[in-house]
Amino acid sequence: MNRLNQAFEGAKREGRKMLCPFLTAGYPSLEATPELLLAAQQAGADMVEVGIPFSDPVADGPVIQASYTHALARGSTVGKCLAGIAAARKLGVTIPLAAMVSFSIVFKRGTSEFSKACADHGVDGLILPDVPLEEAPAIVDAVREAGLRSTLLVAPTSPAARRAAIARLCDGFVYYLSVSGITGERKALPADIAPNVAELRKVTNVPICVGFGISTAEQVREVTRVADGAIVGSALIRRLAEVEDHPIADQCKAAGSFIKEIAAGLR
């Protein structure tokens, strides 16, 4: 069974929720990526969303955009990012890893070929933020054929019928955006997360994770009262930016410390 499915099923059996931090592949360096993935696992991450750097990212706020720019400037490529994930597996990373990737990157290589390369390097699923709904069924089929799971994004502004159609295509988890717009830390989360997640439950049995704007243990606690997992991105990347030029050991310590801090929201 795919690691994503195993992890969510295991968490459900045990009555717990999932913490999913976000890391940019190649940031602060390609060499740091395997070590940071291992540090995330050791700190309590249940899975990691791995951003594949792209020159024109979709929906990513300034913190994550800056990490992409930094990674690309230092020679990050899709092939090197996948090699970093494979290296993390060799280090002992066993939790699910889902690649957040613009469909432009996937399309350029061919969905089947790209998906197979991801599977061969230890990726468990693709998070596709910009796939047109009308083209998604064939893309999801090709991803599944390679043994990966697909996750699409549902915005709070999407009409009910469109939300349902997107949710039914997901076979990894549904990525519900807490807010419309771009990623980034927020002091407060919208009040409509709970009812919107409840509506999604009516149309899919696939796990639902909430992302965008989650940056504290209390916010993790808040969203996992209704969702199966919390995704934390910009807040972690900002912590890494503070030690961007430090040794990898310091970067791992900073990432691990923050992940432990927000994991307290699951207890």
| pLDDT tens by residue, 206-230 | 999 999 889 999 999 999 999 999 9
Q: Are 181 and 157 in contact (CB under 8 A)?
A: no
Domain ranges, residue 103? 3-266
Say what the pLDDT of residue 182 is.
45
d(CA 5, CA 232): 20
Tokens for 236, please give them.
């972690």
Exposure string (b/e) for 113-135, b if CB count within 10 Å is 16 or more? ebbbbbbebbbbbbbbbebeeee
**What's the total number of domains in the chain?**
1
pLDDT of residue 191: 78
pLDDT recorded at residue 179:
67
Model pLDDT, residue 59: 59
CATH number, domain of 254, equals 3.20.20.70
- Give the single-character DSSP code of 51: E
- Residues in the chain predicted with pLDDT less than 70, given as ranges, are 57-60, 179-188, 190
How are beta strands 174-177 and 97-100 bridged, if at all?
A: unpaired
| Surface-to-core class of residue 199, CB atoms within 10 Å of its CB (0-12 exposed, 13-18 middle, 19+ buried) | middle
pLDDT at res. 189: 73
* Model pLDDT, residue 213: 83
**Kind plus residue range of the DSSP H or E element containing 75:** none
What are 211's strand-pairing partners? 177
Catalytically active residues are 49, 60
- pLDDT given at position 185: 46
49 in Cβ contact with 20 (< 8 Å): yes
pLDDT, residue 187, reads 60
Contact yes or no for 101/148 (Cβ under 8 A): no
Q: What is the predicted pLDDT for the residue at 184?
A: 46
The model's pTM:
0.94
